[in-house]
Structure 1
């Protein structure tokens, strides 16, 4: 049985900028008794370092406890792979908390926003007894992307579709004026009919390493793929997203 603390606070911290956490999030860090910080393996120290910088800036006195992130089994079907991965993360939370022996609210710092393409809420639901979960939203990757490019998310009276690279590969470009794509490690945009399709792409949004490229897809597709590959090789990880919209030439 996975034992849980009474209260778990999930704090959105944006896409890497220290300014992406809200004042409510800073206050929650100060009030927390313990903060869980994941270690995601070699070459991804920056991910933990950003969390530590935010924790330090908040001037919290909470105890900081680390846990190692498990790897997903690529041999399993996708849904089963993710379910087992979430189970193991929940177990590692529980083991870390059991070792820490701290009473009071437990906080986790979530990249982006806990409610948008993040599994922290699903992992928390695996704990027993079910904890009281408080969500403090942060700046989402979508907000950071459109702000960085200084563009509106939607056209006038236009719909916005948010999807993943996996679904884009399976179902193609959704109907609608604007599509935002997240979690696309395979640059699926390269397989789309490019005519009149404009792309706004960004990586490491809000950080000193931020990269932005935009233009007609058929003109900047290769540049984005090469830039993404070079950045991943340089930093050991990459978080990126992009917006697609039909435009007239």
Structure 2
């Protein structure tokens, strides 16, 4: 039986790793990494840096090219399904070839494995296929949601209030009518014109790292600046990871 550990590594700052994550890395003999291309080479470098800092025993990197994904599909659900299937087949092949029976491998997951990440679903597919006996566990990590709140020094919710966590795609037609505090992730091209300009936005990119950028204010006043900063940062780094909290005016 092979062992696989899915380790949440936070948002790019090696100090985001929990003591549990550091301990889990010490048991690892092989680290599997999917290369997302030159534009996101920094993400690969950060994973290597984390491993070299915290793994003191001999280990190997196994790097493979991430399967291509249709970013503008006619059928979004079908495109994601195809991408997940391709990733499952790739990981299964790598684990069978590179991880000996009885050995322990790891996949380092940006943020937390339970929040808007596909790795858990992909490993479930591998197990369901039945070709690869596999034992795995999950090590939680600091998510961009937590990092955003920490950088802005805010509580995510109002007293006793709910938090809605969703994606940029899901708010294309606006927020829920009763939304109080909405965290938006995976928004590749944030456009705010259709939203209430009196919302307060807390935005952050490269959270927790030396490249962190944060901005907060009335949405109608800072939306343009956020889009400008975002475009400049993407052009400079070749990639961007950002998230934001939208908070409705307190009308009590």
Match of 1:71 in 2: 68
Query: Any conservation in 1 of the 2:26–2:54 contact (CA below 8 Å)?
Result: yes
Structure 1 window deviating more from structure 2 (61-70 vs 17-26): it is 61-70
CA distance change for structure 1 residues 140 and 75 in 2, over 3 Å: closer, same or farther?
A: closer
User: Residues 147-166 of structure 1 correspond to what in structure 2 (within 5 A)?
Assistant: 147-166=150-169
State TM-score, norm by structure 2.
0.91
Could you say what the CA RMSD is over the residues aligned between the two structures, in angstroms?
A: 1.6
How far is the alpha carbon of 1:27 from its aligned partner? 1.0
Q: How many angstroms apart in 2 are the aligned matches of 1:101 and 1:213?
A: 44
Could you tell which deviates more after superposition, 53-62 or 160-169? 53-62
Q: Deviations over 1:181-216 (max 9, x none)?
A: 00111213332121x210000000011110001000
- Counting only pairs closer than 5 Å after superposition, residues 1-249 of structure 1 correspond to structure 2 as 6-60=2-56, 61-73=58-70, 74-103=72-101, 104-127=103-126, 128-129=129-130, 131-170=134-173, 172-174=174-176, 175-194=178-197, 196-247=198-249
Q: Unaligned stretches of 5+ in structure 1?
A: none
Q: Please give the alpha-carbon distance, in whole angstroms, between the structure 2 residues aligned to 1:75 and 1:145.
A: 30
Q: Mark the runs of 5 or more structure 2 residues left unpaired by the alignment.
A: none
Equivalenced residues, count: 243
The separation in 2 between residues aligned to 1:36 and 1:168, in whole angstroms, is: 34
- Where do 4+ consecutive residues of structure 1 move more than 4 Å? none
Task: State the SS of the aligned residue for 2:6.
Answer: strand
Does structure 1 retain, via aligned residues, the 8 Å contact 2:181–2:248? Answer: yes
Give the TM-score, by structure 1 length.
0.92
